[in-house]
């Protein structure tokens, strides 16, 4: 089956234990540090300084220690006190070699840890920048949640790291406090899954801000967690130990506290992706970014609660890949366009992948822009039936030249509305080809 890489998940677990002698701290009188983040495909991307180098990390409540990867986008970075280790993660592959490092400096504004432990993965295949459309160098989770009261505002794309000693709780009637259980450096909440023709099923869910998906459930027939009849096989994401596949579907609803989301998007990952996990205990699945972004959230790991408040995303429909196309960046390419009577070189600093423009005397602009390709096609999808293939270079969607748009914006063009006709201009073997298809409900 060809892979659909659009749905993205970062899950790294079962790592060797690192001892960190120092925690994150703010100056004594500072109540909180406010950090602006980018929300890309339901993932929180935060700027962080590691040993003096400015990097971008995914904030991942499902990871126990920071992991650094994709070092090709950095000029240089110093890593301290290094030894070799073997680490495991989700996926069907084997454990991989990595470096364990201690004594590193991590800074988010004035929040600082001068003795942060981390893992460095040197495998070039562990690189999510191409799928997200922006450079990402690692993931960071538990240590921040442990040391601060973490307030995530998905409405304004800001995080506040509150000094727990100075934090004053100010809850209102529109928010709800939910118990939070911390086990093995991971956070869990209790919820209820509503299955068709079944009684409501209580579930224990890992809280995973590092997953772009909505709801993952384990196939547990003895607990009533059967895979709904309407489903399709799909690529669910990439774990540290390889690709994760499963059945994508939807459930009648998911309820956390008194908040209920109907017709919720869900997936049942295949068990082989969790083969290294000897005992899942009483865990029934995980809740990811496509659900979490519907709330403004306050995490307090030390007190053992999470505070949820609905935001403007709460009633947004769940996203499905109706076209069946997955995209990723694939280096750079030149394009030529007619321009006004100008000469010289222009740089677009907004494009993190680079966009150098050379203006020629014949009023032609020669630009070096990111190349976006089809990285996967779901079997039986509208795009597959129309004839699109993995490796096709996307040139335009509905007449819009895609080099003017970010990767996530192009994906949105390809999946805007059920029943909409989409026209995709591609390049294949130096030929331009136009394909047309109609977006349809994946559960028809």
CATH of the domain at 263: 2.40.70.10
- Residue 387 belongs to a domain: yes
List the CATH number of the domain containing 406.
Answer: 2.30.42.10
Q: How many domains does the chain have?
A: 3
Whether residue 283 sits in one domain with residue 419: no
Query: Within 10 Å of residue 278's Cβ, how many Cβ atoms?
Result: 8
Whether residue 14 sits in one domain with residue 143: yes
- Residue 313 belongs to a domain: no
* 183: Cβ contacts below 8 Å, ≥ 6 apart: none
Q: What is the pLDDT of residue 15?
A: 43
Q: Please say whether the dihedral angle defined by the alpha carbons of residues 316, 394, 425 and 341, taken in this order, is positive or negative.
A: positive
Whether residue 377 sits in one domain with residue 333: yes
Whether residue 413 sits in one domain with residue 358: yes
Whether residue 185 sits in one domain with residue 153: no
Whether residue 154 sits in one domain with residue 14: yes
Print the domain residue range for 39.
10-162
- Residue 65 belongs to a domain: yes
- Residue 320 belongs to a domain: no
Q: Which of 43-46's residues contact partners 24+ apart within 8 Å by CB, and which partners? A: 43/8, 43/10, 43/132, 43/209, 43/210, 43/212, 43/289, 44/152, 44/159, 44/209, 44/289, 45/132, 45/134, 45/136, 46/108, 46/140, 46/159
- Residue 91 belongs to a domain: yes
- Residue 3 belongs to a domain: no
The whole-model pTM stands at 0.85
Whether residue 353 sits in one domain with residue 251: no
Q: What is the pLDDT of residue 31?
A: 95
- Residue 311 belongs to a domain: no
Q: pLDDT by residue for the chain (444 residues), tens digit each?
A: 334 333 344 444 434 444 444 699 999 899 999 999 999 999 999 999 999 999 999 999 988 889 988 666 555 677 877 787 776 655 555 667 788 898 999 999 999 999 999 988 877 767 777 788 888 999 999 999 999 999 999 999 999 999 999 998 877 888 999 999 999 899 999 999 998 766 789 999 999 999 999 999 999 999 999 999 999 988 887 766 667 889 999 999 999 999 999 999 999 998 876 665 555 668 999 999 999 999 999 999 999 999 999 999 999 999 899 999 999 988 878 777 666 544 444 444 444 555 555 555 566 767 788 899 999 899 899 999 999 999 999 999 999 999 889 999 999 999 989 999 999 999 999 999 999 999 998 886
Whether residue 188 sits in one domain with residue 158: no
């Amino acid at each position: 089956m060809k892979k659909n890489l659009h749905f993205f998940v970062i899950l790294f677990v079962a790592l060797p234990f690192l001892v960190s002698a120092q925690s994150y701290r703010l100056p004594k009188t500072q109540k909180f540090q406010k950090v602006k983040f980018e929300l890309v495909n339901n993932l929180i991307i935060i700027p962080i300084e590691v040993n003096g180098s400015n990097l971008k990390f995914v904030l991942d409540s499902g990871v126990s220690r920071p992991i650094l990867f994709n070092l090709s986008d950095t000029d240089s970075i110093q890593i301290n006190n290094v030894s070799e280790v073997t680490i495991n993660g989700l996926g069907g592959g084997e454990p991989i070699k990595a470096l364990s490092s201690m004594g590193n400096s991590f800074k988010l504004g004035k929040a600082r840890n001068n003795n942060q432990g981390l893992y460095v993965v040197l495998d070039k295949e562990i690189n999510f920048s191409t799928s997200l459309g922006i450079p990402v160098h690692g993931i960071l989770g538990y240590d921040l949640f442990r040391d601060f009261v973490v307030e995530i505002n998905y409405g304004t794309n800001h995080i506040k790291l509150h000094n727990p000693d100075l934090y004053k709780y100010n809850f209102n009637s529109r928010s709800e406090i939910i118990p939070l259980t911390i086990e093995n450096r991971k956070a869990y909440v209790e919820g209820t899954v509503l299955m068709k023709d079944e009684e409501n099923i209580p579930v224990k869910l890992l809280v995973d801000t590092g997953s772009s998906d909505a709801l993952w459930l384990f196939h547990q027939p003895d607990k009533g967690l059967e895979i709904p009849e309407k489903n399709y096989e799909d690529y669910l994401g990439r774990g540290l130990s390889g690709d994760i596949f499963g059945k994508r579907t939807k459930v009648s609803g998911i309820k956390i506290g008194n908040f209920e989301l109907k017709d919720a998007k869900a997936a049942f990952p295949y068990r082989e992706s969790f083969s290294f996990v000897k005992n899942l205990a009483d865990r029934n699945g995980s809740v990811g970014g496509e659900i979490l972004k519907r709330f403004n959230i306050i995490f307090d790991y030390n007190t053992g609660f999470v505070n949820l408040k609905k935001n403007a995303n709460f009633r947004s429909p769940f996203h499905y890949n109706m076209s069946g196309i997955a995209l990723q960046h694939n280096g750079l390419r030149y394009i030529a366009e007619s321009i006004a009577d100008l000469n010289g070189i222009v740089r677009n600093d907004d494009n993190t992948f680079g966009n150098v423009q050379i203006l020629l005397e014949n009023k032609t602009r020669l630009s070096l822009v990111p190349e976006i390709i089809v990285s996967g096609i779901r079997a039986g999808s509208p795009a597959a039936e129309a004839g699109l293939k993995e490796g096709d270079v996307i040139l335009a969607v509905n007449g819009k030249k895609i080099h003017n748009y970010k990767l996530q914006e192009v994906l949105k063009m390809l999946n805007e509305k059920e029943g909409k006709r989409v026209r995709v201009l591609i390049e294949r073997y130096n030929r331009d080809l136009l394909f047309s298809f109609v977006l349809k409900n994946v559960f028809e």
